[in-house]
Structure 1
Amino acid sequence: MTAGSEEIVVSHLTKHYKTLRAVDDLSFTVHSGRVTGFLGPNGAGKTTTLRMLLGLVAPTAGSATFGGVRYADLEQPIRHVGAVLEASSAHKGRTGLNHLRMICTAAGLPWEAADEALARVGLTPAAKRKFKGYSLGMKQRLGIAAALLGDPRVLILDEPANGLDPEGIRWMRDLLKTLAAEGRTVLVSSHLLGEMQQLADDVVIIAAGRLIRQGPVDEVLGSMAGTAHVRVRTPQVAELTAALSEHRATVTPLPDGALLVTGLDPAAVGHAAFANSVELHELTGERADLEQVFLQLTAGKAGIR
C-alpha cells in the first residue's frame, strides 16, 4: 500500500448549538507522514470537531479540508479518508470477513481488499468467526480494518486503544507509526496521555472548544520548562537549600530524603552546589511529561460553554 500527501487543514471551525459553543474558532493543521494526537478534557469539543471533519455535523462557520477538499466533495471518500469514531458494529451473526466484504461491495472495492485489511490488523485467524464472538479489542481491530479498505491517505481514529490489552496497545502504536511512515496523515484522539507521548509526533490540545496548544510533542513539552524538576540528594540539605533559595528556586523535601528543585535546570543546581562547596550524591533532571503539561494547559478550561 502506498499513500500520497493529504494534509488536514481546520480553519476557523465553529459549531454553535443554540447558546452552546461546542467548537469556537478552531484552527490547526495535521501534517502528512506524522501521527498527530488530538487531546482535550471531556466536553472539549473533540468529537464534534471530528464529526465536522467527516461531514457528519455541519459547521456554523469555518471549514475543514483534506488536501484542500471538503469531505463531502471528495470522489470516493473511502479511498481518501478512513475513520473510526467508535468500536466497530456489525450484524452479530456475520463474520468479520463478510462484514468487510459488504463494505467493499457498497464502495465498489474488490473483495481482496477485505483480506488485505484483515491481515494488516492481525485478524486473519478470526476472519470467519462471527462478530458476536469478537472481544472489544477485536472489534477495534475490525473497525480499523474497515477504515483501511480503500487504502486511504488519511486516517482519523477516536480512542482506538479502547478495549486493547498492553500487547494490543503496543500493536496499535506500531501500526499507526508504520502508516504515518508510509506518508499517511494520522489523527488520533485519545485520553491515554502516556501512550500518546510515545505515539504522537505532534499534538493539538483543545479545551472549551478552543485551541490551547499545537506543535511537535518535544516542543510542547519543552515550552513548559517551568514544570521541569531537578531531583537532588546531598548530606548538606540546609546549605544547598540556602544556596538555591538565593536563585529563587523552590526546594521541596521528598519522603526518601532527596530534594525536588523547581525553577532551575540541573546545570544551574550543580553550579550552585559547587560554588557553595556542597557535596552532591544525586543530580537528575525530571522533565515534565505530557500528562503534566496537559493538566497545566487545560487547568480551569475544561468543559464546553
Structure 2
Amino acid sequence: MSDGQPSPADQGRIVVSGLTKQYRTVRAVDNLSFTVQPGRVTGFLGPNGAGKTTTLRMLLNLVTPTEGTATISGTRYADLAQPLRHVGAVLEASSAHKGRTGINHLRVICAAAGLPKQRADEALAMVGLTPAANRKFKGYSLGMKQRLGIAAAMLGDPRVLILDEPANGLDPEGIRWMRGFLKGLAHQGKTVLVSSHLLSEMQLLADDVVIIAAGRLIRQGPVAEVLGSMTQSARVRVRTPQAEALVTALKELSATVEPDGQGALLVAGVDAPAVGRAALAAQIELHELTPERPDLERVFLDLTAGKADIR
C-alpha cells in the first residue's frame, strides 16, 4: 500500500513470488515462491548454500532481488511505515557495544525507533533476561546474545517475526524455552518464520515447512502433510532369530530388506501386516514388528538428496 500501512486482508502474511538473486555466475535464489501464513510457525529449511539467508535478506530489504517480489502484509519491507512495529527479525546473534548493558542496548533501540522506554524492560522480561539486565554485553554467553536479539526484535510488538538459526548457542533448556516462546507467539496470531538446521527440533516446533535446495523450492506445506506424502519411505523394523529365512520370504513380496546394524532388519516396500503374514506362512518366529514412519530429518534428506548446491 502506498502509505506503508499493511492491508487488513494481508495482515501478517509473507508472500515470496518468483524471487531470484543472481551473483555474477552464481544463482543464489532461483524463481522461488512460497507463502507464510499468520498464526503458524513456518520452518524454512535447506542444506548449506540453499539460499535461505539470501531469501530472508531480500525479504528484509537488505539485498535487492534480481527478479521477483517479497512482501510482508502485502507491502515491501522498505515501504512499511514504522517497520519495527510490523516486523521483528534476527539474522544473526545480537551485536551491541561490548561495554553497554543489555537493558541499555534495548533502550537505545527504543529511543531510535520512537518506542516507549518501558518496552525495553518488557522485552527483556519476555525472553527471561531480566536478571542479566545490568550485565555488560561482553559478559553475555552466545545463548544470552540470542535472547537479547529476540528481545530487540520484539520491542515494537511486531505482527511478524523472522529468525535465522535462533537456537545457535542455546542449551537444551534454552531450546525448549525457544520452542514454547515461538509457539506462544503463533498462538497469539503472529507470523513466525524460522530458518534452522535442527530438523528434530523443527518437527516439534513448526506447523508448516518450506524446503529449498540450490535456491529452488522443493516442498512446502503442513509438517504432517509433508511427512504423509513420503509414505513410500515408511519402513518396518523386524527382529527374528531366523533372519535369512525371513529375507527369503520377503523377497517373494518384492520387499527391500537391509540390516540396521543393531541386530534388526529394516523392511521397505510392504507394510507391517504383510511382513507378519509372510513370517506366519513361513513359520518364522518374530521378536519385534514395528512400523517406522519417516521423520522430518529423513524426509528432508530424501527430498534434498543430490540437490545441494556446493558453492
Fold conserved between structures, TM > 0.5: yes
Q: Which of 226, 231, 251 pairs up with 1:225?
A: 231
Report the residue type matching 2:295 in the other structure.
Answer: D
Q: Counterpart in 2 of 1:32?
A: 38
The range that moved more, 130-139 or 285-294, is: 285-294
CA distance in 2, matches of 1:110, 1:253: 62
CA 1:255–1:24 in 2, change beyond 3 Å: closer, same or farther? closer
CA distance in 2, matches of 1:101, 1:171: 24
CA distance in 2, matches of 1:205, 1:113: 35
Q: Counterpart in 2 of 1:148?
A: 154
Report the residue type matching 2:142 in the other structure.
Answer: L
Report the residue type matching 2:187 in the other structure.
Answer: A
Report the residue type matching 1:228 in the other structure.
Answer: A
Aligned residues: 302
Q: Counterpart in 2 of 1:298?
A: 304
CA 1:24–1:255 in 2, change beyond 3 Å: closer, same or farther? closer
CA distance in 2, matches of 1:129, 1:78: 25
Q: Which of 15, 20, 26 pairs up with 2:21?
A: 15
CA distance in 1, matches of 2:136, 2:149: 15
The range that moved more, 204-213 or 295-304, is: 295-304
CA distance in 2, matches of 1:29, 1:46: 14
Q: Counterpart in 1 of 2:192?
A: 186
- 1:117 and 2:93 equivalent? no
Cα deviation, 1:86-122, whole Å, max 9, x if unaligned, reads: 0101111111111101111111100111111000000
Report the residue type matching 1:91 in the other structure.
Answer: H
Q: Which of 107, 112, 135 pairs up with 1:129?
A: 135
Q: Counterpart in 2 of 1:261?
A: 267
Q: CA deviation at 1:123?
A: 0.4
CA distance in 1, matches of 2:40, 2:51: 22
Structure 1 contact 25–210 (Cα < 8 Å) conserved? yes
Q: Counterpart in 2 of 1:249?
A: 255
1:81-92 equivalence runs, <5 A: 81-92=87-98
CA 1:97–1:187 in 2, change beyond 3 Å: closer, same or farther? same
Cα deviation, 1:126-151, whole Å, max 9, x if unaligned, reads: 11111111111100000000000000
Q: CA deviation at 1:183?
A: 0.7
The range that moved more, 257-266 or 22-31, is: 257-266
CA distance in 1, matches of 2:253, 2:209: 33
CA distance in 2, matches of 1:267, 1:67: 49
Structure 2 contact 11–74 (Cα < 8 Å) conserved? no
Q: CA deviation at 1:238?
A: 3.7
SS where residue 188 of structure 1 aligns? strand
Q: Counterpart in 1 of 2:53?
A: 47
Cα deviation, 1:202-237, whole Å, max 9, x if unaligned, reads: 111111110011111122122122222111123443
- 1:210 and 2:216 equivalent? yes
CA distance in 1, matches of 2:83, 2:260: 56
1:98-113 equivalence runs, <5 A: 98-113=104-119
Q: Counterpart in 2 of 1:159?
A: 165
Which gives a bigger RCO, structure 1 or 2 (Cα 8 Å, sep 6+)?
A: 1
Moved over 4 A (4+): none
Q: CA deviation at 1:262?
A: 1.2
CA distance in 1, matches of 2:114, 2:274: 64
Report the residue type matching 1:52 in the other structure.
Answer: M
Q: CA deviation at 1:304?
A: 6.2
- 1:94 and 2:100 equivalent? yes
* Aligned-pair Cα RMSD in Å: 1.6
Q: Specify every segment of 5 or more residues in structure 2 that has no aligned partner in the other structure, as ranges.
A: 1-9
Report the residue type matching 2:199 in the other structure.
Answer: L
Structure 1 contact 6–66 (Cα < 8 Å) conserved? yes
Structure 1 contact 37–189 (Cα < 8 Å) conserved? yes
SS where residue 95 of structure 2 aligns? coil
Cα deviation, 1:167-190, whole Å, max 9, x if unaligned, reads: 111111111111111111100011
TM-score by length of 2: 0.93
CA distance in 1, matches of 2:14, 2:280: 51
Q: Counterpart in 2 of 1:176?
A: 182
SS where residue 16 of structure 2 aligns? strand
Cα deviation, 1:9-45, whole Å, max 9, x if unaligned, reads: 1011111112221111000011111111111111111
CA distance in 2, matches of 1:14, 1:254: 42
